[in-house]
Chain A
Amino acid sequence: MLRVYGEEIASRLLLGTALYPSPAIMVEAVRASRAQIVTVSLRREAGGGGAGQDFWALIRELGVRVLPNTAGCHSVKEAVTTAQMAREVFGTPWIKLEVINDAETLQPDVFGLVEAAGILTREGFKVFPYCTEDLGVADRLLTAGCEVLMPWGAPIGSARGLNNVYGLRSLRAHFPDVPLVVDAGLGVPSHAAAAMELGYDAVLLNTAVAKAGDPAAMASAFALAVEAGRTAFEADPIEARDMAAPSTPVLGKAFLE
């Protein structure tokens, strides 16, 4: 069970709802992923007052938890306003907080992120910050009131997998009790399995499923990989070693020749 902000969530896969060929395929993919939390981008689809209602209705019908995000926000003010709008539209204090620094790489602006996380936490939001694997930033976000961290695997939509395995492992080791979710940059299920094997509590992805040739099949493949990775982590994997270690004792041979 994944535990975040006092809630128990059965699935360790969080899925985004953007970029699918059609809403019908999005719905199929969410079902196939067995995700119980889906992220929704408010900013782009909202446009003006009350727009996008039909799309929201489809998402509500899924019967899963909605984690609205502040995708596309480049400043603290934009992110805070978007979060407040999301709380009204979806009736949830949960918010995936994105404050983007660079439009090209969509790198988080970690300074703005910490500031916005503090503001939103004081307003009663449960903040899921999209961050880097930087330990200092992680510490500041926790101090600001976040109870979960969502470091990137790689830049959003890049499908590169875990760019900095050392950094992610280090973050896991430094914060053993904080729920950690690898968010963004995953391309194929083995990337998700790798994140789970590192001991991450969950993964969040969107493009890898939405832009696959068969999104529902890919969603199902990711669900299996997340389950495999988590099971492997709990089963305590063996350590890598430099030398071969024969699994069958080599009897009857000279020890040294």
Chain B
Amino acid sequence: MKVSVIGAGVVGLACASELQARGAQVTIYEQGESVGDSACSWWAGGMLAPWCERESAEEPVERLGAEALDWWDTRVGGVERNGSLVLALGRDAGELRRFARRTSEYEEIDGTRVGAIEPDLAGRFGAGLYFAGEGHLNPRRALADLAKGLAARGAELCFGSAMEPDNAPGDAVLDCRGLAARDVLPGLRGVKGEMLVIRSADVTLSRPVRLLHPRIPLYIVPRGDGVFMVGATMIESDDRTRISARSMLELLGAAYALHPAFGEAEILETGVDVRPAFADNLPRLVRHGNGRVLHVNGMYRHGFLLAPAVARMAAEAVLDATATPEFFQC
């Protein structure tokens, strides 16, 4: 079976990978000039944190997201399985209790244990939640490796190619264009996210740390070699021009509150993009027209977390026209 996949973001590449694993001959069309060039997943945090996300996400995100750690480890490796840490400053202790009530699979830890898990944070926090089963990866490396693996196994990757779903060749077409598909997917909206990449030689972290705050909950993900990703804002807007001063202030404020040594960090990069989302912030698989085109979209802030499960469903739906997986719509 020949399948065209449009879009080489996390969804397109994961779908291509699942299809290839099932024996399909895959061609990927990407309007950008390289992997991640025009994908919002390029700016992702890379947290594989299904239990933490349950705090504000619906049940399927936790259930399906739990597949993600093994999937990424099998396909590209490099998943750090050091858990994740959720902290709040003393006066925001209520936020920690609230977070604990909405989530599961964590250990309530005291300040001593925080210091044992992340030595650089010793003495800075009196309590926290430790989600030992979670992990993280470097999203850019994961995307590049996934593309490399696809090519090595015979998939064709066409960059600089803005293919329309109806014009794409093959027995089936997977439209994984993200927000660019809003012309055919009513109800798809953009949620702006802003992030920073900083470098600090003074702080070492081994796992993502979420700093809860009633107004500005943010996270810091270590990328190794003293590099950290600080993210991410969630704004109901499809403006992808530049980071705002306020957002930058909030992101840096969170990093500084976590550890004042971040005040001396270098700012390597700022990033802005727009996540594609439907009104319930859950993904959709939408079959259109004669059934040849399947739109896979709406991953919201859960691209790396949900792409494995959604790609599996999409591949099944492509290979079996009678399949009606979760999130499927005709």
Contact = CB atoms under 8 A, between A and B. Distances in A.
Contact of B215 (A24, A52, A157): A157
Contacts of A25: 280
A51 B237 CA distance: 5
Interface string B238-253: 1101001000000000
Interface string B167-188: 0000000000000000000011
Contact of A21 (B57, B98, B188, B236): B57
B240 to A, nearest CB: 9
Nearest to A57: B189
A25 B58 CA distance: 10
A54 B188 CA distance: 8
Given A21-B56, A47-B192, A54 B280 contact: no
A27 B101 CA distance: 24
B279 interface: yes
B201 interface: no
A58 B279 CA distance: 8
Contacts of B189: 23, 54-55
Interface residues of B, number: 26
A45 B277 CA distance: 15
A48 B236 CA distance: 12
Contacts of A157: 214-215
Contact of B279 (A27, A47, A48, A211): A27
The size bracket of the interface on A is 20 to 34
Taking each of A21, A27, A53, A54, which has the highest tally of chain B beta carbons within 10 Å of its own beta carbon?
A54
A27 B187 CA distance: 14
Given A24-B280, A47-B244, A157-B214, A213 B101 contact: yes
A55 B57 contact: no
A22 interface: yes
Contacts of B278: 24
A228 interface: no
A23 B214 CA distance: 19
Interface string A8-32: 0000000000000111110100000
Interface of B: 56-58, 98, 101-102, 187-190, 192, 214-215, 235-239, 241, 244, 277-282
22 contacts: A21-B58, A22-B277, A22-B279, A22-B281, A23-B280, A23-B281, A24-B279, A44-B235, A45-B237, A47-B192, A47-B237, A48-B237, A48-B241, A51-B192, A51-B239, A52-B236, A54-B187, A54-B189, A54-B190, A54-B236, A55-B237, A211-B98
Query: What 7 A-B pairs have minimum CB-CB distances, sorted nearest first?
Result: A54-B189, A24-B280, A51-B237, A47-B239, A22-B281, A55-B236, A51-B239
